[in-house]
Every structure is written in structure tokens, then in C-alpha cells.
Amino acid sequence: MIQRFRGGVPLLWFLALLLTACGGSPATGTPAPTSEPTVANTAPVGATAVSLSTTGTVAAVSGTLTVFAAASLTESFTEIKGIFEKANPGVTVQYNFGGSPTLVTQLTQGAPADLFASADQPNMDNAVKGGVIAGTPQIFAKNKLVIIVPKENNAGITTPKDLAKPGIKFDTAQASVPVGAYTQQALDNFSKLPDYGPDFKASVHTNTVSQEDNVKAIVQKVQLGEADAGIVYATDAQAAKDKLTIIAIPDAQNVIATYPVALVKGAKQAALGQKFVDFLLSADGQAILQKYGFAPGM
């Protein structure tokens, strides 16, 4: 006998309705499909599946890299900028070229930058002491000194000794500027030679008509004939060789300039800055620097 519920409804039929309302199947009791079906992982075999809900879209490296660099790096770093930007789409390299002590002053006064490339170790040391450098500076290039005179060379300067001749107009850099400090060291070295004599450096000082705040200013004044001679880096002389006559300084009296680079503390583009440093130290970066007259930094 079929039991009936109140109102004449068969009890079994009523139980079936109740199961359906609760999400079950009258036949098997299997749960009904959920409202959001599961999506199968369709990534190719061997590929790594990435969940955008947990990782988000991976953005390409981009942004502006601000580099404070010694003026003598202008030509080589300009070429490096184009190559680095091409290899890193979305990246812009922005330079601030100047005398190394000027750049240190700007950094210690809060000027925003990601990298600092100095033309000597003392100014990098000053930046470290000023608390604006992160990590350990690395030497990436070396340079040496040469004498430059105008192409016509009306003063008849052919050797370093001629810099002390009366009436010569000699242009140099301030002693706080790396090339100026290196010049004073070279003059000291010449003064130790018997055929130059201890008064050689003093005589060159007497002939000094100007002291510049960066090496490019010396090159410009000699080119314009405002000075008969100057001492600059070999790289700067090479960049203007069509307008200058270059006189070598013997290695025994010359001074080797070292160029360190380091990340600036608080850099907004620290990762990108390190990538730039890595390029400078790479075979490709070193080849470009040597093309402009620098010696290898390592």
C-alpha cells in the first residue's frame, strides 16, 4: 500500500521533490553542477601555466634611467645610450654630464639620479662619504693625459717642455676637477726630470690663463685659439682630433685616470641601473669605450 501524505500526495513523490529542491538528483543523489564550471588548463605540454589572478601581467622593463656622468664620457656614453635603449624597449637613458665634483655636489644636495660615473676615485669617495652611494663602486674604464694645441699651432709647441716657455697661454682645469688634479701630478713628474728642472711646474702655472670646471671647456678654448695649449684626456682629444694637434705625454710622466661607477642610494631605477653597469662591464660595453680611446677598466 502506498502511503499518502496529508492532502493525498504520495509520500515517495513528495520525497523526490524535496531532494530536487536541495540540489540532489532524484535518481542518484549526485550533486547538481555548480553555477561556474571549472576551466581546464589548456597550456601546451611543457609550458608553465600562469594564473593571472595571482601573478598579474608581467610588465616589460621600462622607465627613465638618470645617469650623472663625467664630461669626458659624453661621446662614448651617447653611443651606449642608443644601443642600451634599443636592447631595452620602453627605456630612456637621461644623462647629466659635468665635472665630477659638480656632480657630487648636486647628488649630496638631493638631485635625483640612479647612477654616478666619476672620472676619478677621489670624487667617488666623496660621494660615498656624503652618503649618496649604494653598494661598492666598480672601475669600468681608464684614461690618460695628452697635450692639445690648435691645429695651426702658432705658438710652436711640440714637446711638454714648451708649456713653460714665456708667453705661452696654458689652459687647465681646477685642481678639484679630476683632469686638473691629474695635470698637476703630471707636471710634478716632469719637474723631477733633470732637463725640465724643479721650476718647470711653477713656470707652467705662470703661463696659466684659465682654470675650467670640466675638460670639455679646455678643449673648446684651445680649439678657438683662446689658449695655446691644454692638457686633457686622450679620449677628449680623439673626439676633436680634426680641429686639434695632439702631443703625447710619455708614460713615465703620465697619469692613469680610473673611472668608477655606482648606483645612487634611493635610486628609483636600481634594477635598470645595475643592468646599465653590467653592460659597461660586458665585452660589448668595453669595446665601445675602447673605440673612444678608453683603456679597459678591468
Do 190 and 219 share a domain, yes or no? yes
Q: Is the pLDDT of residue 281 over 70?
A: yes
Are 153 and 238 found together in one domain?
A: yes
Residue 36 has pLDDT above 60, yes or no: no
> Using 50, 70 and 90 to split pLDDT, how confident is the model at 221?
very high
Asked if residue 217 and residue 279 are part of one domain, the reply reads no
Judged against a pLDDT cut of 60, whether residue 246 lies above it is answered with yes
In-domain check, residue 54: no
- From 248, 267, 283, give the residue that closes a domain: 248
Domain that holds residue 70: 63-143+258-296
One domain for residues 115 and 70: yes
Q: How many domains does the chain have?
A: 2
Section 122-128 average pLDDT = 97
Q: What is the pLDDT of residue 298?
A: 65
Look at residue 108 and tell me whether its pLDDT is greater than 50.
yes
Tell me the pLDDT of the chain averaged across its residues. 85
Give the model's pLDDT for residue 62.
79
**57 found inside a domain:** no
pLDDT above 70: residue 24:
no
pLDDT band with cut points at 50, 70 and 90 for residue 34: very low
* pLDDT mean over 256-284: 97
Cβ pair 102, 127 in contact under 8 A: no
pLDDT value for 61: 67
Is residue 287 pLDDT above 60, yes or no?
Answer: yes
Same structural domain for residues 133 and 262?
yes
Query: 170 and 241 share a domain?
Result: yes
In a domain, 168, yes or no: yes
Is the per-residue pLDDT at 192 higher than 90? yes
Give yes or no: residues 237 and 152 share one domain: yes
- Check whether residue 96 and residue 230 sit in a common domain: no
Looking at residue 60, its pLDDT comes to 55
Residues 73, 153 share a domain: no
User: Are 191 and 228 contained in the same domain?
Assistant: yes
Assign residue 88 the CATH number of its domain.
3.40.190.10
pLDDT top residue among 109 and 13: 109
Domain boundary among 230, 248, 266: 248
Whether 171 is in a domain gets the answer: yes
The reply to whether 26 falls in a domain is no
Whether residues 150 and 240 share a domain: the answer is yes
Look at residue 11 and tell me if it is in a domain.
Answer: no
Residues 102 and 151 in one domain: no
